[in-house]
Amino acid sequence: MILSTAYLPPIQWFTKLLGTEQSPDGACVVDVEAYESYIKQTYRNRCIIDSPAGPLALTIPVEKPDNGSRLIRDLRISDHGNWRHQHWQALSSSYFNSPFFEYYQDDFRPFYEKKYDFLLDFNEALVEKCCELIDIHPQLQRTTDYKEKVAISSDEFADFRDIISPKKDISLDAYFCPTPYYQVFSAKHGFLPNLSIVDLIFNMGPESILTLQNSIQTIS
């Protein structure tokens, strides 16, 4: 299986990690693409959370490389706009009243106090923390070269790099069926599917894994 890197990825992205844990021999590995070119307005440097005003996109600014390379592995995080402070304030104000924000806030706050140079490193560290909190243990590794895109159902590997995107309808992924769960602002906005994994963690805590399991669509 191959995925693009993502900033606090959506629930759809995490269902792919959970699916690999069900491999009988434990041999299923998830490759995270490190050699693709950076694409704007994707989950690579953007997550979507719930907020009092509705869905809110949080975007990490990135620098234009001096050598002209736009490979994900070379992409540096910019300090523009004091984004770390803004993102943490947005998470805090949006989820302060959620059932588990107080319990988990100290797990996430350090990521907005420490400076990471590269986007891939930052995303990877956050994914590892989220996996730890959800209690899943996928085998993740970075690609060592670029893999040409294939159909999702290819016998070679399952390719979800393009289909998991804020620009793509989640119904295009036949393996994902979002299961509703409690959300802080559901009375105002209704249920919002496929938000960032932090929305699930702050609202459902230890039961997050059950929502992920129930959101995996089995193809007969």
Q: How confident is the model over 18-73, as pLDDT tens digits?
A: 865 544 444 468 999 999 999 899 999 999 999 999 999 999 999 977 666 689 99
For the stretch 139-149, pLDDT in tens is 999 999 998 77
Q: Within a domain: residue 220?
A: no
**Number of independent structural domains in the chain:** 1
Q: Within a domain: residue 88?
A: yes
pLDDT of 27 reads: 46
CB 6, CB 44: distance < 8 Å: yes
- Other Cβ atoms less than 10 A from the Cβ of 79: the count is 11
Q: Within a domain: residue 140?
A: yes
Q: To the nearest 10°, the Cα dihedral for 50, 53, 58, 59?
A: 140
For the stretch 151-179, pLDDT in tens is 555 556 789 999 999 999 999 999 999 99
pLDDT of 70 reads: 83
DSSP 162: T
pTM of the prediction?
0.92
Range of the domain at 90: 2-214
Exposed, middle or buried: residue 161 (CB in 10 Å: 0-12, 13-18, 19+)?
A: buried
CB 50, CB 94: distance < 8 Å: yes
Q: Is the pLDDT at 199 greater than 70, yes or no?
A: yes
pLDDT of 29 reads: 83
Q: Within a domain: residue 73?
A: yes
Q: Within a domain: residue 124?
A: yes
